[in-house]
Amino acid sequence: MKRRDFIKAGTIGAAASTLAAPAVAQDITQWTMVTAWPKNLPGPGVAAQTLADRITTLSGGRLEVKLHAAGEIVPGPGVFDAVAEGTAHIYHAVPAYWGSKSKGILLFGSQPFGLRADEQVGWMVHGGGQELYDEMYGRFGIKPFLCGNSGPQWFGWFRNEINSVDDLKGLKYRTTGLASEMCARIGMAVQAMSGPAMFQALQSGALDAGEFIGPWTDSALGFHQLAKNYYWPGVGEPSSAEECGVNADAWNALPDDLKSVVSTACASLYNDVWTEYETKHALAFKELVDNEGVIPRKLPDEVVMAMGDAAADVIEELRGDSDELVGRITESFLAYRDSVGAYMTYADNGHMNARAKVLGY
């Protein structure tokens, strides 16, 4: 039986045999969403629920999306495969989790010394990024959309101060995506894991340090209870895009107006999610510093420069990847970053630097 027929006619997949397939009764289509997050985790968990609700509302109830948090149907790291295989119809996660599929995927989420949140969506919409995004994910039977962004992330939580590159060598550190490769090149012992697992690893000593997102989400997970030195800037992730991926057969089965509902819901959520992060990060950061004993510390310039060199090596390897699509994605990203980045020297960067001189922030 072809996957398209399976999705239309039977259960969604053997691993979810109790779930209804995209049921069409009285013109109502039902989709199962799986996510990489605990339900209602401040930041991504909230955003996932908002997306499910927004698709349902904008469709007038014709496309109902029911969210299942990480572990309810599949574990968080399994949501990509679940949607690709037809076990679920749609997922909410981040591209940084799918590097084992192709390193080219990682550029759609975050890039060391790369794009800010506004630049990231600019590349997708105006710089040819979406076409490459569709081509890459199409290999796996998924239609992808960006649907949010965390804004600038932090370098993370450390028990001890960092004064040099040598202080990072051998340090057991949680991060993800291309930041993992950058950090490994300067000698850090990088590990990938979920936010809740990071707390447990810090608590047990299995990790020395780690980053997850930023003050709002990080404080909800309690990292400040275990480490007080909070390092910035998070050069590994100047922004981190959130995405939804839709099973391609489920997507193709939708009428055009419901396709527009899904794409509009994702696009409309991007700014809502990004600005909520920025607003609530600021409030949480003040609480952490004022009342929780957290000490914000700036990475030494020596460390930033070493990471810049390592990041350049990572990107250069992507340019020469044996998969020509990875090379095309990398060249497109670099062209957009360099064009917009050069202009921002005079525009946004110029304004922010001027404001800092006058107001101190």
Q: Both 171 and 103 in a single domain?
A: no
Is residue 4 marked as binding? Answer: no
Give the total residue count for the chain. 361
pLDDT of 24 > 70? The answer is: no
Q: Both 49 and 140 in a single domain?
A: yes
The three-class DSSP label of residue 33 is strand
Cα 8–Cα 85–Cα 68 angle in degrees, nearest 5: 85
Percentage of the chain with pLDDT > 90? 93
Measuring CA to CA, which residue among 251, 272, 248, 271 is closest to residue 262?
251
Is residue 153 marked as binding? Answer: yes
Domain boundary pick from 228, 249, 278: 278
Mean pLDDT estimate for the chain: 93
Is residue 212 marked as binding? Answer: yes
Q: Both 82 and 209 in a single domain?
A: no
Q: What is the pLDDT of residue 27?
A: 87
Q: What is the pLDDT of residue 22?
A: 53
In a domain, 200, yes or no: yes
- Parent domain of 146: 3-151+239-278
| Distances 250 to 15, 90, 235, 290 between C-alpha atoms, Å | 18, 9, 37, 49
pLDDT of 300 > 90? The answer is: yes
Distance CA 244, CA 90 (A): 7
Strands (E) located in the chain: 24-25, 28-35, 63-68, 90-93, 142-149, 156-158, 172-174, 189-191, 209-210, 229-232, 241-247, 295-298
Q: For the chain, what is the domain count?
A: 2
Q: What is the pLDDT of residue 26?
A: 63
In a domain, 197, yes or no: yes
Q: Both 132 and 253 in a single domain?
A: yes
Is residue 237 marked as binding? Answer: yes
Cα 211–Cα 213–Cα 217 angle in degrees, nearest 5: 115
In a domain, 286, yes or no: no
DSSP 8-state code for residue 40: T
